[in-house]
Amino acid sequence: TQLLEQSPQFLSIQEGENLTVYCNSSSVFSSLQWYRQEPGEGPVLLVTVVTGGEVKKLKRLTFQFGDARKDSSLHITAAQPGDTGLYLCAGDGGNYQLIWGAGTKLIIKP
Amino acid sequence: DVKVTQSSRYLVKRTGEKVFLECVQDMDHENMFWYRQDPGLGLRLIYFSYDVKMKEKGDIPEGYSVSREKKERFSLILESASTNQTSMYLCASRGGANVLTFGAGSRLTVL
Q: pLDDT (tens digit, 9 = 90+) per residue, A57-90?
A: 999 999 999 999 999 999 999 999 999 999 999 9
pLDDT for position B71: 94
Taken in order A38, A43, A44, A50, the sign of the CA dihedral is positive
* Cβ–Cβ contact B77 with A under 8 A: no
Closest CA to A105 of A15, A9, A36, A21: A9
Percent of chain B with pLDDT over 70: 98
Q: Are strands A85-92 and A98-100 parallel, antiparallel or unpaired?
A: antiparallel
pLDDT for position B39: 87
- CA dist B54 and B61 (Å) reads 15
In angstroms, the Cα distances linking B94 to B2, B15, B101 are 11, 32, 6
Task: Name the residue of chain B whose CA is nearest to A34's CA.
Answer: B99
Count Cβ atoms below 10 Å from residue B24 Cβ, excluding itself.
18
B66-93 confidence digits (pLDDT tens): 999 999 999 999 999 999 999 999 999 9
A94-103 confidence digits (pLDDT tens): 776 789 999 9
Q: Do A42 and B98 touch (CB under 8 A)?
A: no
pLDDT for position A93: 78
* B66 Cα to chain A: minimum distance (Å): 18
pLDDT for position B2: 64
Q: Do A48 and B45 touch (CB under 8 A)?
A: no
Q: How many CA atoms lie within 13 A of A5 on its CB side?
A: 4
Judged against a pLDDT cut of 80, whether residue A27 lies above it is answered with yes
- CA dist A11 and B25 (Å) reads 34
B88-100 confidence digits (pLDDT tens): 999 999 977 778 9
pLDDT for position B41: 87
Residues in chain B: 111
Q: Do B105 and A101 touch (CB under 8 A)?
A: no
B42-57 confidence digits (pLDDT tens): 899 999 999 999 999 9
SS (HEC) of A3-63: CCEEECCEEEEECCCCEEEEEECCCCCCEEEEEEECCCCCCEEEEEECCCCCEEEECCEEE
Closest CA to B57 of B45, B68, B70, B44: B45
Q: Do B104 and A41 touch (CB under 8 A)?
A: yes
- What confidence category does residue B1 fall into, taking pLDDT thresholds of 50, 70 and 90? low
How high does pLDDT run on average in chain A? 93
